[in-house]
Structure 1
Amino acid sequence: MQHLEVKTNGSVATLVIDRPEKHGALSPRLMADIHQGLDEMHQEPRIRSVILSSTGPTFCSGVDLSVLHEIRSLPEQEQLQQWFEYWRRLAELCEALLRFPKPLIATVDGPAMGAGFAISLSCDMIVASQRATFSAGAVRHGLVGGITAALLSFRAGTSLSAKMSLTGIPLSAEEADRAGLLCQPPVASEDIETIAARWANESSQGSPQAIQATKRLINESIGETMLTQIAAAAADSATACTTETAGEGIDAFMNKTTPTW
């Protein structure tokens, strides 16, 4: 795997996003690597729970805008297919995390932005450091972050989802905790791995069959509408990429300028 490192310690595995030079941006290769890591840990009977973490100062900066910029350079008739393919892969990654049969703990020690916020919300629990932030700022790039909005609505309600998705204003770790998004108050960065491992062990003490059934109840039965919303949101986000404002936002990001709407 090119951008993912897998570590194991007893019955706990850690999938480490290893793309610090791009702040963990979700390229197609990285998304495929996370899928592969999940598949391997699913098949490994010794592993009872999994932690998702990241190297570098950013947990995950979200969609890879350089990939979206590359798509914009394709002939027009090819672009729409590629937009849909990219957002479909992101939706499938979030669904794979939600359907993963073992407890998943996201360890966020830095910004989790847009789709990076979405993948943390797709895990069962989030352990955050005091320097973590969470944002859903797609609109500031002329994009539609529908997958993140759907997951945030599922986890915390539509009021917070609307506030974050429409303004792009980030939540601090303390604010995320007050909103009920974290499994405990923020911790020091140097303690985050130990505390995440503690939650991973605590969440795997029950029967594996009961844990799997409980996850299915929460994420697939109670969250049935949410799974449908993720698929629809991926299509909406892809369509939004065809607009002039999306193009301006992507170009502004690549050129390090501010878009004018």
Structure 2
Amino acid sequence: MTGAPVKVEREGHLTIITIDRPEARNALDAEAQRLMAAVMDDFSRDDEQWVAIVTATGDKAFCAGHDLRQQAETGDLFTPESGFGGLTARANLDKPVIAGVNGPAFGGGFEMVLAADIVVAADSAFFALPEPLVGLAALAGGIQRLPRLIGTIRANGILLTGRRVPALEALQLGLVNEIVPPGEVLAAARAWADRILACSPMSIRATKQAIRLSDGKDCLAAMREEWAWPAMVAMLESQDAQEGPLAFTQKRKPAWKGC
């Protein structure tokens, strides 16, 4: 996608998605939103793509949310059906998404981070949901996800003020898995991807689906039900479920098929 506001690279089973609008602090206009949604659709459907990294160009911002300049000029606040960046409302994606936060993430950018499974951030990054400061609200999942992740009282201190949360505080709050120097974000995200790719993709999808479907359920009830959930059934019936124990007994790395 040369010249497009979103770049895509595929390296084996890894998809790297880069928002490339540094002149707009990587804010998403309508074109970028549509492209992000299409890229995430492709990743979701492609059985050979097992993990995705979402990052951005430069060190000025990961994503500044909606392109407010476009909104002011055209009134266009377009968001795909699959959510901001094609991610925040994509409820049934059972493949892992890693956010490589190379700079500040605010508004929809922060909401994309909240929708990710693993988060690596530059130590210079910060996170904010400043929508109330411009007459809006965090409507791409921030209102729902942030309280569930860190508790209502602490979330209120962010949602109701628009204040900035530095990377170290985000790590302490459990919003970030790892913080690294700015130039090392993508390398760190790749390292997380490599750890995931060392596992069977069938197991990873079953685990992520079970986490999602267990949310809000009684623990014992979820443990009983999980045996019938689609990704769990697929895992138990897969070639990978045979390959893993065989590779262990033969003292070699498994050759995962993803089926």
Which TM-score band applies after superposition, normalised by the shorter structure? 0.7 to 0.9
2:123 and 2:38 mapped to 1: Cα distance?
Answer: 30
Aligned to 1:153: 147
Helix, strand or coil at the partner of 2:163: coil
- Displacement of 1:88 in angstroms is 5.5
4+ runs deviating over 3 angstroms: 43-46, 85-93
- Displacement of 1:168 in angstroms is 1.0
Q: 1:204 to 1:160 in 2, by over 3 A?
A: farther
Asked if 1:194 corresponds to 2:196, the answer is no
Q: Is the 8 Å Cα contact of residues 117 and 134 (structure 1) preserved in structure 2?
A: yes
Aligned to 1:173: 167
- Displacement of 1:87 in angstroms is 7.8
Asked if 1:65 corresponds to 2:68, the answer is yes
TM-score by length of 2: 0.74
- Which segment is superposed worse, 101-110 or 7-16? 7-16
1:153 and 1:220 mapped to 2: Cα distance?
Answer: 19
**Structure 1: unaligned runs, 5 residues or longer:** 73-81, 225-261
Helix, strand or coil at the partner of 2:185: helix
Alignment of 1:1-261 (within 5 A): 2-56=4-58, 57-72=60-75, 86=79, 90=83, 93-96=87-90, 98-146=91-139, 147-184=141-178, 186-222=179-215
1:87 and 1:223 mapped to 2: Cα distance?
Answer: 27
Larger Rg: 2
2:61 and 2:192 mapped to 1: Cα distance?
Answer: 22
Helix, strand or coil at the partner of 1:95: coil
Helix, strand or coil at the partner of 1:167: coil
Aligned to 1:242: none
CA RMSD for the aligned pairs? 2.2
Helix, strand or coil at the partner of 1:67: helix
Helix, strand or coil at the partner of 2:116: coil
Helix, strand or coil at the partner of 1:61: coil
Helix, strand or coil at the partner of 1:60: coil
Q: Is the 8 Å Cα contact of residues 98 and 189 (structure 2) preserved in structure 1?
A: yes
Q: Is the 8 Å Cα contact of residues 65 and 106 (structure 2) preserved in structure 1?
A: yes
- Displacement of 1:6 in angstroms is 0.7
Q: What is the letter of the counterpart of residue 104 of structure 2?
A: P
Q: 1:90 to 1:39 in 2, by over 3 A?
A: closer
Q: Is the 8 Å Cα contact of residues 136 and 149 (structure 1) preserved in structure 2?
A: no
- Displacement of 1:11 in angstroms is 2.3
- Displacement of 1:9 in angstroms is 2.4
Write 1 or 2 for the structure with the bigger share of helix: 1
Helix, strand or coil at the partner of 2:124: coil
- Displacement of 1:191 in angstroms is 1.7
Q: What is the letter of the counterpart of residue 47 of structure 1?
A: Q
